[in-house]
Structure 1
Amino acid sequence: MGLITKKCVIIDDDVQITELFSELLALLGLKILAIGHNGLDAIDLFSKHQPDILFMDVEMPKLNGIEALKEIKKINPSAKVIIITGNTSSDCERILQDNGVTAIIYKPFDIQKIKQLIEHFDNPVSMYT
């Protein structure tokens, strides 16, 4: 599957981050299906759009990214969820890994790392960067 065919949803409570990130992903050839701003949006938009990739923050209002990840994995255990976070704690990383996150990218993010991750997405091994 080429980059141009990948469809994604972006979830982050920071509007500036979602705007910047959607522009970066569009430059990489991804189609942005929807943007949300909390964990409840993540579950709703994932269910509605069934994206190839869901990009999501951890610390958000209403429902955090960890709880949203758990619910999304109940809907589709093979869902590809990439966490974009500034939380570098090993506890957070372990919890995300235990709940089936596909990859973790730490803020500030590097567009080349994101591009490399997306290009290797068909690899069954999870990536943490």
Structure 2
Amino acid sequence: MLETQKILIIDDEPILLKILSKFLQKLNIPSDTAESGEIGIKLVKKEPSTFSYAFIDYNLPGLSPKEIISQIRSINPKIKIILSTGYSVEDIKRELQPIEIDGTLQKPFTFNDVKKVLGE
């Protein structure tokens, strides 16, 4: 069984925030949402040890995924990062180097995809 405190979802599309939140609710996993990297970082700063995962959209306005991941991990080094994207996973992993991520969620994703990326 997955031991999760709370999952942070960062996406600029309100419908995707809602869908992911509902999927996590079905798994009895609490979540917080943020519509930008900056807001997500503030949430992690506010409660650094609360989040065990961050689901981050790869294509957000403002901060780059590298900047968001670096800042979140500087606050909470144990947080697992899952990138949601419609792009090629191999290209993203290459672009993000040397930063490593813990998983990807390929858009469009299903409830089973979310369960799989969380090891459920």
- Give the TM-score taking structure 1 as reference length: 0.79
**Larger RCO: 1 or 2 (CA < 8 Å, sep 6+):** 2
Partner of 1:11: 10
CA–CA separation in structure 1 for the residues paired with 2:11 and 2:58? 8
The 5-angstrom pairing of residues 15-94 of structure 1 reads 15-32=14-31, 34-50=32-48, 51-88=51-88, 90-94=90-94
CA–CA separation in structure 2 for the residues paired with 1:41 and 1:24? 22
Long gaps (5+) in structure 1: 121-129
Q: Secondary structure at the match of 1:101?
A: coil
Amino acid in the other structure paired with 2:7: C
CA–CA separation in structure 2 for the residues paired with 1:100 and 1:47? 21
Q: Paired residues, what number?
A: 118
CA shift, 1:5, in A, is: 4.7
CA–CA separation in structure 2 for the residues paired with 1:44 and 1:74? 12
CA–CA separation in structure 2 for the residues paired with 1:3 and 1:97? 27
CA–CA separation in structure 1 for the residues paired with 2:85 and 2:12? 11
Structure 1 vs Structure 2 CA RMSD? 2.0
Long gaps (5+) in structure 2: none
CA–CA separation in structure 2 for the residues paired with 1:85 and 1:49? 26
Partner of 1:124: none
CA–CA separation in structure 1 for the residues paired with 2:4 and 2:63? 30
Amino acid in the other structure paired with 1:26: Q
Q: Secondary structure at the match of 1:29?
A: coil
- Give the TM-score taking structure 2 as reference length: 0.84
Percentage identity across paired residues of the two chains:
30
